[in-house]
Amino acid sequence: MALPALTLLVLFLVIPALLAFGLSFTNARLISPNPPRFVGLDNFVRAFTADPVFLRSTLNTFVFAGVVVPVQAGLGLALAVLVNQKIRGVTAFRVIFFVPVVTSIVVVSILWRFLYQDDGLINSFIDTVTFGAWHGMAWLNDPSTALGAIIVLSIWQAVGFHMLIWLSGLQTIPEELYEAARMDGASPWQQFAHVTWPGLRSTMVFVLVTITIAALGLFVQIDVMTQGGPVNSTSTLVYHAVRKGYREQETGYGATISLIFFVIVLVIALIQRYLTREED
């Protein structure tokens, strides 16, 4: 009975993963009359020595993840604490904060592209609150602000998901622990530091791993909003892999970039597991 699902899993996950490995040592092209030829490590050498866009994409991917992982995890936790209060109407706020998560990232990206325009909503807001002292800019057209602008909308879209994960972690902490802490005169902050935080260890591992993997896979926002520009300031590993492996039909080289991406994801996931498991 497990056979149909397992067969599909092998066909569409295991084989493509092995293929990513195999193809990265070849010069395979998507549409070509010639069979792929083995080229050894050529693709890897090319990536690290002759492809500045690859290096820039790697850097951008790390910058994006480096900001998004701590900020989104932190904001998610703050939101979870806020909506974990026993006050009237709090469920409605949980639902509202989750609405962007169910909105497609494609829709979100095109919407924010409009908000970020030089005559868009965000600039006119800045203009109003500074009484016209500071005029807006085309955020996505400036290499120094484009990636930051994409970071903001990415967090806006996904933070509600991690709020819920943190929330379910918070609700596993027994209320008696808080009562006991309060009786000992613990301040709200002390309650958080000594009761809440230690109780959230396994939730934290899950949140960090899922945000990291999602952040490293950044693609849609780039494709819809900037196509990697201006001057490659928003190109990412996955975007570059698709550009080379699919749009320019260099399947072999695209597979190489995918494989490098996979190794990075794997190493980071293992490091996070190791670091957060140590104290158990």
Partner 1 sequence: MALGLPVARPQAAPSASERQARRRRRVWSYTTLTALAVFFLFPLVFMFVSSLKPDGQILTDVTSLRAFLPVGDISLDNYAGVFDRVPVGRFLFNSVLVTVLTVGLGLILNSMAGFALSRLRWRGRHLALALVIATLIVPFETIAVPMVYWVSHLPTLVWEDGLLKYDFGWLNTYQVQIIPFIANAFSIFLFTQYFSTIPKSLDEAARIDGAGWFTIYRKIVAPLAGPAFATVAIVTFLPAWNQYLWPLMVVQQEELRPVMVGMQYFFQLDPAWGEVMAYTSLITLPVLIVFLSFQRAFVSSVAASGVKG
| Residues 200-219 contacting partner 1, CB under 8 A | 203, 206-207, 210, 213, 216-217, 219
The whole-angstrom separation of Cα 252 and Cα 245 is 7
d(CA 19, CA 190): 52
**Which of positions 12-51 make contact with partner 1 (CB under 8 A)?**
12-17, 19-20, 23, 28, 30-31
Residue 166, CA distances (Å) to 74, 81, 230, 274 in order: 10, 8, 36, 21
Footprint of partner 1 on residues 61-80 (CB under 8 A)? 79
| Selected binder of partner 1 within 38, 66, 70, 103 (CB under 8 A) | 103
- Non-local (6+) Cβ contacts of 157 within 8 A are 100, 101, 103, 105, 108
Instruction: Find out whether 164 and 97 touch, Cβ atoms under 8 Å.
Output: no
Which of 120, 148, 229, 230 touches partner 1 (CB under 8 A)?
A: 120
Contact set for partner 1, span 255-274 (CB under 8 A): 255, 257-259, 261-262, 265-266, 269
Residues from 134 through 163 that contact partner 1 (CB under 8 A)? 156, 160-161
In this structure, what token pair is assigned to residue 134? 């500071």
2 versus 50: smaller Cβ distance to partner 1: 2
Size of the site for partner 1 (CB under 8 A): 97
Nearer to partner 1, 144 or 172 (CB): 172
Dist. CA 265–CA 15, nearest whole Å:
19
Residue in 41, 45, 106, 267 binding partner 1, rule: CB under 8 A: 106
Q: How far is the CB of 262 from partner 1 (least distance, A)?
A: 4
Closest CB to partner 1 among 38 and 246? 246
Cα(57)–Cα(257) distance, rounded to whole angstroms? 10
Binding of residue 192 to partner 1 (CB under 8 A): no
Are the CB atoms for 221 and 156 separated by under 8 Å? no
Among 53, 67, 71, 121, binds partner 1 (CB under 8 A): 121
Please report how close the Cβ of residue 172 comes to partner 1 at its closest, in angstroms: 8
184: contact with partner 1 by CB under 8 A: yes
Is residue 251 within 8 A of residue 28, CB to CB? The reply is: yes
Closest CA to 222 of 51, 61, 20: 61
